[in-house]
């Protein structure tokens, strides 16, 4: 019988992005369970299915922004660019799905709307948007950290007769060629979109709420010798990567910024600016950019100097220069600041001159000016981490709702398990590791499969995590975050990009190597913090 017709299976996987694909493979092909996947989109790929905006690409180098479990799909893969484009990422993920025979296990265009744990029988009852109910012993939520769209509320937006689009739901049929385009948002997405849109739009107006530290991506060709060496030493590359914090493939710095002379600091910053990549600039220059205020200010000062040197109009350069700490998820793109030298590009500083209303022809700012637009683009990010969980009614023991359990402080054990929600496993749930997400996903899915395998061997028992372990892990994540400069700035990594939301800790900032060590210790200590009953 087709798995998609069954009303009871061993495991349900929500989402078919990078995490869901690997979870399906692991549980179906390795543990030999009956697994059913539900995906809200019409195809696989998650982030890479939805984010089709002009300029979309991975800003983590493609040789480490992929699966390590599947070297074969990489064989003969035509990746010569340092970063994979959205089209290449989507093609890659589709190739993995087909190579491992996963497509027949996935039901597309179907949202999970609710899931309720039946304590008597130890099963999850999962409701979907097509009205079906499917039961499973294990529920894997691989719903993505950046999935639920965030867009500003603009007064009178219904009056606007042009087109509105979010970069995270980019339509197939939209060309910006020759159009008057406005874009709100200058995060990782905005900085990729802005140079690409400026190249084709007749006019591009950038509405900036916060200025951004953006370093070049350095989108070069990858030397053939490197690809050859990578293929020949695939496992070695990945073993080394798993011993690092950020897991982006570059050597992480061990030297504090203020321990060297000002000239040496400048030399190191310049070398990394030329090489490109945001994570490399933040973590490969010096070890304390994200920790020590003086080191951070030195990096800020260097980037502000670059902005002043690149942007010809001093007033525009000043508006593009951030004053706050360099403490958001690092951003990179090629030609970002250069784009503001183009005659068809204008910058509006929303803090000084906010949008007050939409009109039929565009938007009006506080200075009274109407900005005429054919297309208004929201590059305004996501309600991250918790957002997707707010769209499903997940009820654990005693009918408790997951989002109520979290309240204003999302907690978890290891970013994976939640007390009172047995056999529910999140991939990249609150307080997962802050690093390159591809190896973080593999680490968590491997751990989840390990727990499920153990449960099966013990006789299909129920796995719960205890409250003390959950509170302890959450507290450690809060302490670790406080040790860094990241909480000093409002950004999505603390959920504070949403208007009116305070900072809340959503990541473990100890790095991938420490996270993996912690998992190994827990396994060695008889799965401390877990109860198998
Ligand atoms: O979202 P963001 P993103 N009015 O939240 C502004 C990943 N990613 O989609 O800084 C006006 O970072 C907001 O302003 P401010 C990556 O992990 C990866 O760009 O909050 N403006 C900001 O400028 C990344 O970090 C790739 O003041 C508003 C922007 O919109 C994550 O996705 C590529 C606003 C949002 O920036 C999110 O990036 C792209 C409002 N009401 C993204 N609300 C890769 O290459 C928000 N803004 C792998």
Residue pLDDT, tens place only, 267-300: 999 999 999 999 999 999 999 999 999 999 999 9
Rounded to the nearest whole angstrom, what is the distance from the C-alpha of residue 150 to the centroid of ligand 1?
A: 9
Predicted local distance difference test score (pLDDT) of residue 3: 73
Tell the residue nearest (CA) to atom 43 of ligand 1. 380
Rounded to the nearest whole angstrom, what is the distance from the C-alpha of residue 53 to the centroid of ligand 1?
A: 13
Rounded to the nearest whole angstrom, what is the distance from the C-alpha of residue 188 to the centroid of ligand 1?
A: 6
Distance of alpha carbon 197 from alpha carbon 204, whole angstroms: 7
Distance of alpha carbon 334 from alpha carbon 299, whole angstroms: 18
Distance of alpha carbon 405 from alpha carbon 394, whole angstroms: 10
Name residues of the chain where pLDDT drops below 50.
none
The model's pTM:
0.97
Pair of tokens at residue 379: 């590059």
How many helices (H) and strands (E) the chain has is answered by 16, 22
Which residues' Cβ are closer than 6 Å to ligand 1? 57-60, 146, 150, 152, 184-190, 192, 209-210, 329, 350, 379-381, 492, 497, 499
Atom of ligand 1 nearest to the CA of 186: 23
Pair of tokens at residue 515: 């996270």
Strand locations in 160-268 (E): 163-166, 180-184, 203-208, 214-215
Distance of alpha carbon 223 from alpha carbon 144, whole angstroms: 32
What is the DSSP secondary structure assignment for residue 329, as one 8-state letter? S
Atom of ligand 1 nearest to the CA of 146: 32
Tell the residue nearest (CA) to atom 12 of ligand 1. 187
Rounded to the nearest whole angstrom, what is the distance from the C-alpha of residue 50 to the centroid of ligand 1?
A: 15
Helix axes 262-275, 293-310, angle to 10 degrees: 60
Tell the residue nearest (CA) to atom 41 of ligand 1. 152
Rounded to the nearest whole angstrom, what is the distance from the C-alpha of residue 190 to the centroid of ligand 1?
A: 7
Pocket test for ligand 1, best of 213, 497, 500 (most atoms within 8 A of CB): 497
Tell the residue nearest (CA) to atom 18 of ligand 1. 188
Contact 83, 56 (CB under 8 A): no
Predicted local distance difference test score (pLDDT) of residue 6: 78
Phi, psi of 425, rounded to the nearest 5 degrees: -125, 125
Pair of tokens at residue 455: 């449960």
Atom of ligand 1 nearest to the CA of 437: 17
Rounded to the nearest whole angstrom, what is the distance from the C-alpha of residue 245 to the centroid of ligand 1?
A: 23
Atom of ligand 1 nearest to the CA of 329: 25
Predicted local distance difference test score (pLDDT) of residue 1: 66
Rounded to the nearest whole angstrom, what is the distance from the C-alpha of residue 404 to the centroid of ligand 1?
A: 26
Kind of pairing, strands 370-372 and 362-365?
A: antiparallel
**How long is the chain?**
533
Phi, psi of 35, rounded to the nearest 5 degrees: -125, 140
Pair of tokens at residue 118: 């039946």
Rounded to the nearest whole angstrom, what is the distance from the C-alpha of residue 525 to the centroid of ligand 1?
A: 40
Atom of ligand 1 nearest to the CA of 492: 5
Predicted local distance difference test score (pLDDT) of residue 150: 97
Rounded to the nearest whole angstrom, what is the distance from the C-alpha of residue 329 to the centroid of ligand 1?
A: 10
Residue pLDDT, tens place only, 496-512: 999 888 899 999 999 99
Tell the residue nearest (CA) to atom 15 of ligand 1. 210
């Amino acid at each position: 019988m087709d798995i998609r017709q069954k009303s009871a299976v061993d495991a349900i996987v929500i989402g078919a992005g990078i995490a869901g694909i690997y979870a399906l493979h692991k549980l179906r092909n390795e543990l030999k369970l009956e697994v059913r996947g539900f995906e809200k989109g019409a195809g696989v790929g998650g982030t890479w299915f939805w984010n089709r905006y002009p300029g979309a690409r991975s800003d983590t180098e493609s040789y480490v922004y992929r699966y390590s479990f599947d070297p074969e799909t990489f064989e003969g893969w035509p990746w010569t660019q340092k970063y994979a484009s959205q089209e290449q990422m989507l093609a890659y993920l589709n190739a993995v799905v087909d190579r491992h025979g996963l497509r027949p296990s996935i039901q597309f265009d179907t949202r999970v709307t609710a899931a309720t744990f039946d304590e008597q029988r130890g099963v999850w009852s999962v409701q979907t948007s097509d009205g079906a109910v499917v039961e499973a012993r294990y529920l894997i939520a691989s719903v993505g950290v950046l999935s639920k769209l965030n867009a500003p509320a603009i007064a009178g937006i219904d009056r606007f007769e042009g087109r509105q689009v979010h970069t995270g739901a980019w339509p197939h049929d939209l060309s910006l060629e020759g159009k008057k385009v406005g874009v709100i948002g200058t995060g990782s997405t905005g900085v990729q979109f802005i140079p690409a849109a400026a190249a084709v739009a007749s006019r591009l107006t950038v509405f900036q709420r916060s200025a951004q530290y953006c370093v070049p991506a350095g989108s070069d060709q990858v030397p053939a010798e490197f690809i050859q060496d990578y293929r020949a030493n695939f496992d070695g590359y990945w073993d080394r990567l798993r011993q690092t914090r950020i897991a982006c493939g570059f050597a992480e710095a061990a030297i504090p910024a203020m321990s060297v002379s000002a000239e040496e600091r400048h030399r190191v910053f310049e070398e990394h600016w030329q090489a490109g990549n945001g994570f490399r600039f933040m973590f490969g220059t010096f070890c304390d950019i994200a920790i020590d205020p003086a080191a951070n200010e030195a990096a800020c000062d260097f980037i502000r100097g670059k902005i002043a040197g690149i942007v010809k109009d001093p007033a525009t350069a000043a508006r593009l220069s951030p004053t706050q700490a360099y403490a958001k998820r690092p951003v990179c793109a090629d030609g970002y600041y250069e784009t503001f030298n183009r005659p068809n590009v204008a910058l509006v500083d929303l803090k000084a001159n906010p949008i007050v209303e939409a009109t039929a022809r565009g938007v009006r700012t506080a200075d009274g000016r109407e900005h005429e637009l054919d297309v208004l683009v929201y590059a305004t990010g996501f309600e991250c981490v918790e957002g997707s969980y707010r769209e499903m009614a997940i009820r654990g023991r005693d009918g408790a709702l997951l989002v109520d359990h979290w309240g204003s402080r999302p907690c978890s054990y290891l970013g994976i398990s939640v007390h009172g929600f047995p056999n529910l496993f999140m991939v990249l749930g609150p307080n997962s590791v802050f690093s390159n997400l591809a190896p973080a996903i593999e680490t968590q899915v491997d751990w989840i499969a390990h727990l499920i395998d153990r449960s099966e061997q013990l006789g299909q028992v129920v796995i719960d995590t205890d409250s003390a372990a959950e509170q302890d892990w959450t507290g450690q994540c809060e302490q670790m975050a406080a040790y860094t400069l990241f909480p000093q700035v409002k950004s999505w990594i603390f959920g504070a990009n949403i208007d009116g939301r305070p900072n809340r800790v959503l990541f473990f900032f100890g790095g991938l190597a420490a996270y993996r060590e912690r998992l190994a210790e827990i396994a060695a200590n008889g799965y401390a913090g877990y109860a198998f009953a």
